Amino acid sequence: MKDYLVRAVGYNGQIRAFAARTTETVGEAQRRHSTWPVVSAALGRSMTASVMMGAMLKGEDKITVKVEGNGPIGAMVLDADAKGNVRGFVTHGQVHFDLNEQGKLDVRAGVGTEGFLSVVKDLGMKEMFSSQVPIVSGEIAEDFTYYFATSEQLPSSVGLGVLVNPDNTILAAGGFIIQLMPGCEEETIAALEKHLATIEPVSKMIEKGLTPEEILEAVLGEAGNVQVLSHMPVQFECNCSKERYSRAIIGLGVQELEEMIKEEGNIETQCHFCLETYDFSEAELQALVNEIKTQLN
Ligand SMILES: [Zn+2]
């Protein structure tokens, strides 16, 4: 099964819902960054939430989420768009923690319990929306729930899960976001809250291999009457390229570039998000210098 997400409504449009299977996507991030289990869980949960937040956008809109806790894994940065593409990195990928008291990966110990979750939405036409909330849990799902409630005034329920194999690869990953739309009736809220108290953890659902549709059915229950509106493939996708790095190098200007050529000769650049490297030989750098000079004339 390939990764995908579904957009849906429930309770006759009073609730909107998203669910995603992100096993391959988180697996790709784990392979590229060689993350250890707790870090994979923190990064994977954050990526899963971010790709669903991307699905709330339209067209060419983009979102950047930063989770900056005071724990040893450092900061996580996630980029997602409205087309199911997501990429992410973490400051320290190889940190080990013992299981927590519940016998689970101790994500809170890795992320920390203080710090910030910030969101920047690039809505095109130079329109930016940015917002920051304090980390309230460190387990990620609760932190996104808090973000939606305080920054977007959207009461939400967020469930995120990542399961890791003994060899550090990803066994399964996924999650859901349920949001009360304005005008949601009290009865609906009460019924939903009652049902949510009975559901099993999302990690159990993904372990059992539930599809995103089945996750929403489990989360909203029969009374929720889930109606799937659309499906979208989800993938780890980085839009870096040698061309983009060339533009960045040109931005340094003639003087700095000529000094770099003198001191370093060639340079190697690396993308934080996917760890792809791009080498520029002395001749290529010289060509970029010439390009700036031609533009200046
Ligand atoms: Zn990249």
Residue 31 C-alpha to ligand 1 middle, in angstroms? 14
Q: What is the mean pLDDT of residues 254-266?
A: 90
Q: How far does CA 94 lie from the centroid of its chain?
A: 19
Residue 242 C-alpha to ligand 1 middle, in angstroms? 10
More confident residue, 284 or 124: 284
Kindly report, residue by residue over 182-191, the tens digit of the pLDDT: 999 999 999 9
For residue 107, what are its two tokens?
């994500």
Residue 197 C-alpha to ligand 1 middle, in angstroms? 40
Element holding 258 (H helix, E strand): helix 254-264
In this structure, of 2-11, 122-131, 228-237, 265-274, the range with the lowest mean pLDDT score is 122-131
CA 265, CA 279: separation in Å to the nearest integer?
11
Residue 90 C-alpha to ligand 1 middle, in angstroms? 14
Q: What is the pLDDT of residue 165?
A: 96
Residue 87 C-alpha to ligand 1 middle, in angstroms? 8
Residue 119 C-alpha to ligand 1 middle, in angstroms? 20
Residue 120 C-alpha to ligand 1 middle, in angstroms? 19
Structure confidence at residue 149 as a pLDDT band (50, 70, 90) = very high
Backbone angles phi, psi at 277, to 5 degrees: -110, 150
Residue 33 C-alpha to ligand 1 middle, in angstroms? 12
CA 77, CA 64: separation in Å to the nearest integer?
7
- Tokens 């960045």 appear where? 248
Strands 156-164 and 170-180: antiparallel
Kindly report, residue by residue over 213-236, the tens digit of the pLDDT: 999 999 999 989 999 999 999 999
Q: Are 36 and 18 in contact (CB under 8 A)?
A: no
Q: Are 111 and 41 in contact (CB under 8 A)?
A: no
The one-letter amino acid code at 24 reads E
Q: 13 vs 6, 180, 196, CA distance in Å? A: 15, 9, 18
Residue 239 C-alpha to ligand 1 middle, in angstroms? 6
Kindly report, residue by residue over 46-75, the tens digit of the pLDDT: 999 999 999 999 999 999 999 999 999 999
Q: What is the pLDDT of residue 1?
A: 78
Beta strand ranges found along the chain (DSSP E): 4-10, 15-21, 62-69, 75-81, 85-90, 115-122, 128-134, 156-164, 170-180, 227-233, 235-236, 267-270, 277-280
Residue 184 C-alpha to ligand 1 middle, in angstroms? 41
Residue 49 C-alpha to ligand 1 middle, in angstroms? 20
Residue 238 C-alpha to ligand 1 middle, in angstroms? 5
Closest CA to 242 of 194, 287, 203, 208: 287
The one-letter amino acid code at 147 reads Y
Residue 246 C-alpha to ligand 1 middle, in angstroms? 14
Backbone angles phi, psi at 287, to 5 degrees: -65, -35
For the cut 90, the answer to whether the pLDDT of residue 125 exceeds it is no
Residue 248 C-alpha to ligand 1 middle, in angstroms? 14
**Which structural domains are found in the chain, ordered by start?**
4-236 (3.55.30.10), 242-296 (3.90.1280.10)
Residue 61 C-alpha to ligand 1 middle, in angstroms? 19
User: Which conformational region is residue 84 in: left (phi greater than 0), alpha (psi within -120 to 50 degrees), or beta?
Assistant: left
Q: N- to C-terminal Cα distance for the chain?
A: 55
For the cut 80, the answer to whether the pLDDT of residue 114 exceeds it is yes
For residue 184, what are its two tokens?
């949601």
Residue 102 C-alpha to ligand 1 middle, in angstroms? 36
Residue 268 C-alpha to ligand 1 middle, in angstroms? 14
